[in-house]
Amino acid sequence: MNRHRPFKILAPFALILLLGACQGTAEVRAVASLAIACDTYASVLDQLTPLRAQGKLSEGDISRVDTANAVAARACSPDSSLDPSHAVTVVKEVNAQLQALLGGN
C-alpha cells in the first residue's frame, strides 16, 4: 500500500477548504469597505445639510443630492440585494459626486 495515498485523497479537500476561506475573507473585506463608504457618505451628507438650509445649494445641486441619496440609501441598507463589492463602488461614486458639491461651496 502506498503510504502517501491518504495525502493524495485529502489534498483536494484541503484546497477546497482553503479557497472557501479566501472567498469568505474577500466578502468580509467588501462588507467592511461598504461600511466605511456608507459612513463617509453619511458624513458628507451631514456637511451638505447646513448648506441647503442656508440656501447655498442650487436647485441642480439639491436634485443631485436627492438622486445620490436614493442610490446610497439602497446600497447602504442592511436589506440591500446588491453585492457588497458592487455596492462599495456605487457608494464611492456617490461620495465623489457629493464631495464635488462641497468643493464648490
Alpha carbon dihedral 42, 48, 49, 55, in 10-degree steps, equals -170
Q: What is the DSSP letter of 54?
A: T
Q: Is residue 60 part of a domain?
A: yes
* 4 part of a folded domain: no
In a domain, 47, yes or no: yes
Q: Domain for residue 6, yes or no?
A: no
Kindly state whether residue 71 falls inside one of the protein's structural domains: yes
User: Domain tally for the chain?
Assistant: 1
**pLDDT value of position 95:** 94
Helix ranges (H only) for 5-105 are: 5-53, 59-76, 84-103
Residue 24, in any domain of the structure? no
Predicted confidence band of residue 41 (pLDDT cuts 50, 70, 90): very high
pLDDT digits (tens, 9 = 90+) for 45-64: 999 999 999 999 999 999 99
Predicted TM-score (pTM) of the model is: 0.72
Asked whether residue 17 is domain-assigned, the answer is no
98 touches 44 (CB < 8 A): yes
Per-residue pLDDT of 86-97, as tens digits, reads: 999 999 999 999
Q: Which domain holds residue 44?
A: 30-103
Q: Is residue 25 part of a domain?
A: no
Q: Sign (positive/negative) of CA torsion 52, 57, 63, 67?
A: negative
Under a CB-based contact definition with an 8 Å cutoff, are residues 65 and 104 in contact?
no
